Amino acid sequence: MKRGFLLGKFMPPHAGHVSLIDAARRLVDELTILVCSQPDDPIAGEQRLEWMRAMFPGCRIVWHGAPAPQAPEDNPNFWPTWRRIVAKAHPEPIDYLFAGEAYGAELAHQVGGLFVPLGARVLGADQGGLGGLTASAVREDPWGHWQYLPRPVRDHYALTVCVHGVESVGKSMLAERLAAQYATVLVPEYGRTHCETYGTDCREQDLLLIGNAQQAMIEAARPWCNKLLIADTDALMTAAWSQMMIGYAPDELICHRQADLYLMLGTDAPFIDDGTRVYGDPEVRARFDRVAREVLAVARAKVVEISGSWDERFAASCAAIDELCRARAS
């Protein structure tokens, strides 16, 4: 059996890492990847370990999260320390030690194994290629490097915009326009499909399923979005429905990951009964609107009020999203 070993911070993993690891896997029978982290790293080591295990299920992924010297000139025990770390992660003899940088030569000398300089960075021949990617550059501008981010990492850097509001305020129509405008993924409203299938007489178990299914669809879609995900409501809106229908909102509906921005649509739009809508009475609709707003306030969500004509709502929503994107880029 031929065994290979490589290590890195993978903060975050990007296409350069993936190409190196995929090449290394083709050269050995067993590949061990050591994920190294420090307690004060900008991305938690546990998160990177989770990413690497999701991305490379056929490899042995191990983690070293304790403080360790980062350069030989900083600590006279640098190499003895790293020999111990590598021996713990890979107790078997190493046949090939893979790296895309020059440190790999000395590391191979210290721990054993033949240095295989995949990635071309050690040769200085990486200009404009995948080898030229750096994790620090990705952290500084993740959206500018979006095409080089693996899907689990995209989930980390994606933003979610949720269209929120009561019935018949144009949520679905606006969400569709926004998804088209930003060339990204739209998560439709699960609750409508559920009610079309089972009716609108919802009990707690129905509302829990609706909210949890909506969030499951959002989470499943985030790695596939184009930087920005548009959601036609989420579980916080289901919590408002729950308040109206059964008099309370189960905690399970308000503990999910929140959207980065909620577009709160006003009720200055005519109510149109399409067969699945429930609260058409003006007074009840006004109360529903208050409940929907209160849910966002209790959750301390980031909210932008949206009202006016359909075109005005679209323009105001785009302005709010553009501001969100500028804040992410800064």
Give residue-wise pLDDT tens across range 68-84. 999 888 889 999 999 99
Residue 126 has a pLDDT of 47
User: For residue 142, how many other CB atoms are within 10 A of its CB?
Assistant: 21
Answer with the one of 80, 108, 140 that is the final residue of a domain. Answer: 140
CA-wise closest residue to 306 among 271, 269, 258: 269
Does the residue 147 lie in any domain? no
State residue 281's pLDDT score: 80
Nearest to 164 by CA among 288, 328, 270, 39: 288
Residue 175 in any domain: the answer is: yes
Q: What is the pLDDT of residue 124?
A: 44
Domain co-membership, 195 together with 281: yes
Check residue 100 and give its pLDDT: 82
In this structure, the answer to whether residues 7 and 135 fall within a common structural domain is yes
Gyration radius from the chain CA atoms: 25
CA nearest 85: which of 53, 102, 56, 62?
A: 62
Q: What is the pLDDT of residue 123?
A: 38
Q: What CATH number should be reported for the domain holding residue 45?
A: 3.40.50.620
Query: If you average pLDDT over every residue of the chain, what do you get?
Result: 92
Pairing of strands 114-116, 185-187: unpaired
Domain hosting 123: range is: 3-140
Is residue 282 domain-shared with residue 323, that is, in the same domain?
A: yes
pLDDT of residue 210: 97
Per DSSP, what are the bridge partners of residue 116? 98
**Statement to judge: residues 125 and 260 lie in one domain:** no
Pair 199, 110 in one domain = no
Residue 212: other Cβ atoms inside 10 A: 16
Cα dihedral angle (321, 326, 327, 330), rounded to 10 degrees? 170
Q: 157: which 2 tokens?
A: 């850097």
Low-confidence ranges of the chain (pLDDT < 50): 120-130
What are the tens digits of pLDDT across the range 163-214?
Answer: 999 988 999 999 999 999 999 999 999 999 999 899 888 999 999 999 999 9
3-state secondary structure at position 161: strand
Are 128 and 242 members of one domain? no
